[in-house]
Structure 1
Amino acid sequence: MKKKYLFGPIILALVLFAGVVFVPSSWLAKLVPADRLEESAISLESNMFQGTYLQNEMLKHSKYIPIYGSSELSRWDPFHPSNYFETNAAAYTPYLIGKGGMTSIIHDLNFATHVDQLKNKQMVIIVSPQWFVKNGTDEQHFAPNYSSLQAYQLPFNKEVDEQVKRKLMQRLMTYDAVKNDTILYRLYDAYLNDKKVMFNNLSVPAKAYISILKKKDLYFTLLKDNSTNRHQSDAVKDKTWKELRAQANTYGEKRTQHSKFYIDDKVYKHKKDYIKGMEGKNKGHSYAESLEYDDFQLMLDILKQADAEALFVIIPVNGAYYDYTGFPKKGRQDYYTRIKKQIHDSGFTYADYSEHEHDPYFMRDTIHIGWKGWVYLSEDMQKFLELH
């Protein structure tokens, strides 16, 4: 009797697992709710970033304009591009792709995965100075954000330029998340060193795992996202850009009554002790030299090959706070100069906000754009979309 109870749950689990693995993806895709894509545009769910299905669907529709970035995308207020364009019934809908820790290397892998869908695709890419620390993205920020599905697909991707693909694989192999995945690491090693027999042997389990990960992606797509708490605000409806900037000034002023450096009061209250301890701590720092520039160049190379129409947004630092920490102005200016040249040399357009370092209410806190900064971005985004 005990054996019956012991094996019952095991058999049930195996049956359920088999059902998950062998249900055709086409069947699962038909179960995706009609409003799922629209809902995901502001959800900022990791499952969407690390999967492929929703992004594949989004890239098919010209009305969706993806905005790639990192943690600033979740700093919601009435001036946020998603709210501005929805409230003003624009012909296009921003589709947010980014969270804390997502830097060039994460976006490189994502763009490589979708490269065949990017031709003439309009997009916005927000570039943060904080990405450009000396050693580039560390394991702590890479591991939670990278997509195992996209990483496994990379060696089999025949759309990406071969040299770019090899550089990207070599870079990915420096991270423990890839090193500790025995099949993936050996697959990359076999590909890069032309070990054809080894690569063909590893391709069998790799492709089987890709199939499982795609199913997992679809199952997560079927689930409703958590509540985003990003409510639409009509405060920005039918306003001129001048009126919106004035409105953003007032909005920001009310929310920085009890803080220094024009930082949101709630953030300042939470970080007050940390901020107090940062006085003069960043002397000698610079964003001028970083491995991130190589990762960023891979992004530019992939997008250029794809003939994507990208607007890069150069976010400033909070000048008052950075001055307080002793971070040299030269270390910031050298970054602005270098990143603009890199973008320009690759043939892309950029919106340069580096002169807004000391502009009150342009930044929401020490590193994130907000309020008036969003107004400038919404305006530049609209001009870019109308010109292309």
Structure 2
Amino acid sequence: MKKRFFGPLILAAVLFIGILLVPNAWLSQLIPQDKLQKSATGLDPGMFQGLYLQEEMLKDPTYLPIYGSSELSRFDPYHPSNYFHENPQGFTPYLIGKGGSQSLIHAMNFAAHMDQLKGKKLVFIVSPQWFVKWGSDEQHFAPNYSALQALDLAYNQKIDPSVKKELIKRIMHFKAVKNDMVITELFKAELSGNQMAFNAISPIAKTYYGMLQKKDMYYTIGSSSERTLRPSPSVKGKSWAELEKEASKLGAEKAGDNPFYVDQKLFERNLKPIMTKMKGARKNYSYAESPEYKDFQLMLDILKQAGAKPLFVTIPVNGDWYDHTGFPIEGRTTFYKKINRQIRDNGFELADLTSHEYDPYFFKDTIHVSYKGWVHIDKAIEQFYKEQ
């Protein structure tokens, strides 16, 4: 009985150790050649939280990374992945982000890829709803948090020490980090400057880091996340004025007669049942004050130090819906002015679309751009990419 019990355990241990000892260079040979291309629109959380695929993408000049959050999954003929498929400009959009991917998540990701960001053009879409008064919360942070990128941060000697410490302090507020004893102890030693404690925990931490790297590699080999694009020939070779007109027509067809100019199916399912309840319910809300501004600044500092060349796109909210909920106009316009000033003061390029709050068919729902919104973003991306 004992032999039968211990035999499988010993075999499992040997296999596990063998898997960890396989060199990453060997594993990279097993990754399908079209993996990078397929992952460009896959919106795969495993890719966001890993390192390998993003490193490969950033080294490839044919990809233009677009960072953001849940708006990236709102596909229609004018979505950048579809639009630039039909109107190639020398690059392929590479989408990075999902719901809850806010400034801290992106800051950790950028820190882990500082070497590949120098001189790299990228697009970053800023969402107003990140800037609620409590900032990022556990519900949004935890599913997007990467222990691999957190460990990379601990050993990152290139990031400005003061920025590094502030970023570590900030992410240590979250249970996803605090519940990981190895990372917590490593961060505590880093913050206190206790090199002896840092060195003591490092052998365990580096083994953990190696395991997560292997997990990233094996996941990259085995994952099959892929999105089948449905680009429309109708967007090919049109002027921006023609595209905006066509996008408005498609938006009108999708929206029907609802008062917020959003997708009718979404309206019937999500908004109509709560219209009475939500009327005036957010009269005390504002995006003017939030911890997110400091988190956003940490991300800007990392991009500056890395020498990246980002275009920031600031988008509005659906003004008609926000008025219905009583959300004060001042609480939105103050945010628009504040975030735009913050971006410009840091020397980065800005595409300010915040004046489109009340544009019909600019949104798919109450916050996510679509139809006309994507047309304006496509135009900004194309102009930015062609700049010398």
The residue correspondences of 1:319-330 to structure 2 (distance < 5 A) are 319-330=319-330
Q: Distance in 2 between matches of 1:12 and 1:268?
A: 56
The residue correspondences of 1:1-388 to structure 2 (distance < 5 A) are 2-271=1-270, 272-388=272-388
Q: Distance in 1 between matches of 2:232 and 2:113?
A: 33
What do residues 141-196 of structure 1 show as CA deviations (whole Å, max 9, x unaligned)?
00010111000111210111111111100101111111111111111111110111
Give the drift of 1:254: 0.5
Question: What secondary structure is seen at the aligned counterpart in 1 of 2:278?
Answer: coil
Give the drift of 1:210: 0.6
Q: Distance in 2 between matches of 1:276 and 1:213?
A: 48
Q: Distance in 1 between matches of 2:208 and 2:276?
A: 49
Q: Distance in 1 between matches of 2:285 and 2:113?
A: 36
Distance of aligned partners of 1:233 and 1:192 in 2 relative to their CA distance in 1, 3 Å threshold: same
Give the drift of 1:12: 3.3
Q: Distance in 2 between matches of 1:8 and 1:263?
A: 61
Give the drift of 1:5: 3.8
Give the drift of 1:55: 0.4
Q: Distance in 1 between matches of 2:96 and 2:245?
A: 29
Question: What secondary structure is seen at the aligned counterpart in 2 of 1:144?
Answer: helix
What do residues 343-370 of structure 1 show as CA deviations (whole Å, max 9, x unaligned)?
0100001111111000001111001011
What do residues 232-259 of structure 1 show as CA deviations (whole Å, max 9, x unaligned)?
3222111111111011001100001153
Q: Is contact 1:45-1:225 (8 Å) kept? A: no
Question: What secondary structure is seen at the aligned counterpart in 1 of 2:47?
Answer: helix
Q: Distance in 2 between matches of 1:247 and 1:202?
A: 59
Structure 2, gaps ≥5 residues long:
none
- Provide the aligned length of Structure 1 versus Structure 2: 387
Letter of the 2:115 counterpart? D
Letter of the 2:23 counterpart? P
TM-score (normalizing by structure 1): 0.97
Q: Distance in 1 between matches of 2:23 and 2:325?
A: 56
Question: What secondary structure is seen at the aligned counterpart in 2 of 1:95?
Answer: strand
Q: Distance in 2 between matches of 1:370 and 1:153?
A: 35
Question: What secondary structure is seen at the aligned counterpart in 1 of 2:101?
Answer: coil
Letter of the 1:281 counterpart? A
Q: Is contact 2:104-2:295 (8 Å) kept? A: yes
Q: Is contact 2:38-2:226 (8 Å) kept? A: no
Q: Distance in 2 between matches of 1:189 and 1:139?
A: 20
Structure 1, gaps ≥5 residues long:
none
Question: What secondary structure is seen at the aligned counterpart in 2 of 1:15?
Answer: helix
Q: Identity over the aligned pairs, expressed in percent?
A: 53
Give the drift of 1:22: 1.1
Distance of aligned partners of 1:191 and 1:268 in 2 relative to their CA distance in 1, 3 Å threshold: same
Letter of the 1:368 counterpart? H
Give the drift of 1:260: 3.0
What do residues 280-315 of structure 1 show as CA deviations (whole Å, max 9, x unaligned)?
100021000000000000111111111111100001
Q: Is contact 2:89-2:382 (8 Å) kept? A: no
Letter of the 2:375 counterpart? V
Give the drift of 1:276: 3.8
Q: Distance in 2 between matches of 1:297 and 1:178?
A: 21
Give the drift of 1:105: 0.4
Give the drift of 1:4: 4.3
Distance of aligned partners of 1:255 and 1:239 in 2 relative to their CA distance in 1, 3 Å threshold: same
